[in-house]
Amino acid sequence: MSTDQSLQPADRLELGEDLRARMLEFYRHLHANPELSMQEHRTAEFIEAHLDTLGIEHVRVGGTGVVGVLRNGDGPVVGFRADTDALPIEEDSAVAYRSTARGTLEDGTEVPVMHGCGHDTHVTALMTAAEVLAADRDGWAGTVLLIFQPGEETAAGAKAMVEDGLWEKVPRPEVVYGQHVMPGLAGTVEIVPGAVMAYADSWKVTLFGEQSHGSQPQDSIDPIVLGAHIVTRLQSIVAREIHPRRAAVVTVGTFHAGLKENIIPASAEFTLNIRTMDDDVRERVLASVRRVIAAEAAASGAPEPRIEELYRFPRNFNDPAETEALTGVLRGVLGEGNVLEAEPKMGSEDFGALPAALGVPSVFWFFGGFDQATVDSGTMPVNHSPRFVPVPEPTLWTAATAALAAIRSKVAR
């Protein structure tokens, strides 16, 4: 990646030393105090306290979601979303603000917790943007929705906010923006029109057989053999049923069966993750997965398997016209060489559920989080790694600059 060395995000943001120090303090606090999905109680309170100091009204939506409503006269309504949750990961870094937090999963398991996907940078950027906008009311007119969304990692947060009446509680935006830190050079942004992130469907499949002694296979229906055939056959869906130029991924992430080597068990269980970029491909793949599971069970003389949906991520789709306009804006504030054209990513996000609930356009982009030496090292941490700790400079300033540029492109006087 190339980078425009003239980029000075702090100057672009008109940050004084005090605000620059607060931005770093926000980031370090959030990183050191992560919370699991839909449990972001202290994080929500931290955000609300900041909005209170700025005189920005706010409302709770979806449990631990917070939406600041920054009103400044007549004008467009623009939404900007930052996700707030962290992951059950034990941090492996040497930063002074490393997380030692613990949390409890839904099943009662105690786990370490870390902002291993960089949501702390997202929250910091939007908190900083809110402070700049609140202090510069002469430069813009309209309403800005500061959407701090919980539960992105489990696809629960955006859904919870919408079902809790998000769009009845705040003004209707004409566009919703969002961004995400990724492995890449700090100071750069990647953006792509159209489909930008994939649908993700996750299922749990339970196979039923007939338990028997391992020495008496004739009296069994072996769910492990059945499962092995299903797992193998599923890989042929993408390879032989989907056009080579259409994207799809079918992953079996877990497989559990049996308790002892000489007992053919009564059941087996596996989980699936299915990623697609288009509606028609998604429907084709999901139908094919169901067909394979049912057919292999029938071929084994086994009862009908049970399929349960664990969660579903929507596709993220960047409105082409809005994306083209914003790309020009970002290049103007970040530098031509710092705004890169990207390929769609097979990763998933629930951001798309927010604009989709209203049918309004959205734009979602990515910003880098690591210095040149780390990028060149070949060992750059990826999202969900215990070493995924973005460098503060110029990561935070770039993210805040991009957020402000997007918002101001709609509400500037």
Q: Does the annotation count 25 as an active-site position?
A: no
HSE toward the beta carbon, residue 215, CA cutoff 13 A: 0
Tell me which CATH homologous superfamily contains domain 9-197+315-411.
Zn peptidases (3.40.630.10)
User: Which of 120, 131, 152, 322 is flagged as catalytic?
Assistant: 152
Domain chopping of the chain, boundaries? 9-197+315-411, 199-313
Q: Of 35, 40, 83, 85, which is the active-site residue?
A: 85
Using alpha carbons, list the distances in angstroms from residue 2 to 198, 207, 249, 396.
27, 51, 31, 19
Tokens coding 162: 């919408």
Nearby residues of 201 by Cβ (< 8 Å), 6 or more positions away: 272, 273, 274, 282, 286, 309, 312, 313
Q: What is the CATH number of domain 199-313?
A: 3.30.70.360
What pLDDT tens digit does each residue of the chain (413 aa) get?
333 333 344 334 566 778 889 999 999 999 999 999 999 999 999 999 999 999 999 999 999 999 999 999 999 999 999 999 999 999 999 999 999 999 999 999 999 999 999 999 999 999 999 999 999 999 999 999 999 999 999 999 999 999 999 999 999 999 999 999 999 999 999 999 999 999 999 999 999 999 999 999 999 999 999 999 999 999 999 999 999 999 999 999 999 999 999 999 999 999 999 999 999 999 999 999 999 999 999 999 999 999 999 999 999 999 999 999 999 999 999 999 999 988 999 999 999 999 999 999 999 999 999 999 999 999 999 999 999 999 999 999 999 999 999 999 999 98
Instruction: Please confirm, yes or no, whether 152 is among the known catalytic residues.
Output: yes
Closest C-alpha among 134, 135, 78, 164 to residue 355: 78
